[in-house]
Structure 1
Amino acid sequence: MKRHYIFASHGTFATGILNSVELILGKQNNIHTLCAYIGDNDDLTEQVNHLMASFPAQDELVVITDIFAGSVNNEFIRFITRPGFHLIAGLNLPLIIEMLIAPQDEALPLLITDSLSNARDSIQYCNKTLDAALLADKDF
């Protein structure tokens, strides 16, 4: 059994984020991308079906889409009952790095839950965070 990641987005965001991941972590052979709506005659349903058919049924698939309930996410929801299939909405670099640097023998539902929590913590309004830190320093 092998674990694959699919980054899927409207436009080329998925490829761009893969480029950033590989800049930070090096080449990733288990990551695949789907960039929707970049060609005039692209059929999203056909693209998703073709991509999903390329993986053995016993492999684990983690699909991370850009927008919850967007057309790309909705195309993958059709596979939610496939064994070993996990769908996440909210494609972002901190989430991906968390998932890829974690021990790969960790159970996937736990890995996803922990990675989502840590990624949420990395999203900051820096002005407010810095103001709070400076205020805390004044209290000492």
Structure 2
Amino acid sequence: MRQFIIASHAHFAAGINESVSLLSGERDNVRTLSMYVDGNNDLAAAAAKMLDETPEGDDLVVCTDLFGGSVNNEFTSIVQRRPNTYLVTNMNLPLLIQLLFAEEGRDTAEVIREICAADDTRVKFVNDLIEDTEDDEEF
């Protein structure tokens, strides 16, 4: 089974998980880690606790808020030493929804690569999309 950790600076992880839950329902396999707020300042200890709570043998997908940030960097070191752990950064709501609904029996790394490459999960500048549509309508 896949387990998920949504981790961020401040309350972003909890907030985006609230949105995910609203759209897809509560999930037992998703946990959040909000760092540097509410006295939660020991990142290494908090990450270790999350790992200890992950059933052995399960794949663990960690989604972080910011590439190069302290939260992502901590999990980068964990991925290098913990098998079946996958790290995705610069997370957004479409990415999380697609990850959570991905077919359970498929290879986790393959699923993550496909979702990260999909146009649906990429950031979009809507003004340019509107302009492209207007240009198309003129012909």
Runs of 4+ off more than 6 Å = none
Q: How does 1:99-114 map to 2 (within 5 A)?
A: 99-114=99-114
Q: What is the aligned partner in structure 2 of residue 30 from structure 1?
A: 29
Q: Quick one: structure 1 residues 119 and 92, their matched pair in 2 at CA, closer, same or farther if it must change by over 3 Å? A: farther
Q: C-alpha deviations, 1:24-50, integer Å up to 9, x for none?
A: 011111100000000346311111111
Q: What is the aligned partner in structure 2 of residue 89 from structure 1?
A: 89
Q: Quick one: structure 1 residues 134 and 106, their matched pair in 2 at CA, closer, same or farther if it must change by over 3 Å? A: same
Instruction: Structure 1: give runs of 5+ residues left out of the alignment.
Output: none
The total of aligned residue pairs comes to: 138
Report how far residue 82 of structure 1 moved.
Answer: 1.3
Query: What is the TM-score of this pair, normalised by structure 1?
Result: 0.91
CA contact (8 A) 1:98 1:119 kept: no
Q: C-alpha deviations, 1:51-100, integer Å up to 9, x for none?
A: 11122331110000001111001111122131110011112101011112
Q: Quick one: structure 1 residues 41 and 88, their matched pair in 2 at CA, closer, same or farther if it must change by over 3 Å? A: closer
Query: What is the TM-score of this pair, normalised by structure 2?
Result: 0.91
Q: Quick one: structure 1 residues 41 and 24, their matched pair in 2 at CA, closer, same or farther if it must change by over 3 Å? A: closer
Q: How does 1:18-97 map to 2 (within 5 A)?
A: 18-40=17-39, 42-80=41-79, 81-97=81-97
| Mean CA deviation greater in 71-80 or 121-130 | 121-130
Q: Does the alignment pair 1:115 with 2:115? A: yes
Q: C-alpha deviations, 1:103-130, integer Å up to 9, x for none?
A: 2222111110111122565421111101
Identity %: 34
Report how far residue 102 of structure 1 moved.
Answer: 2.4
Please give the root-mean-square deviation of Cα atoms over the aligned residues, in Å. 1.5
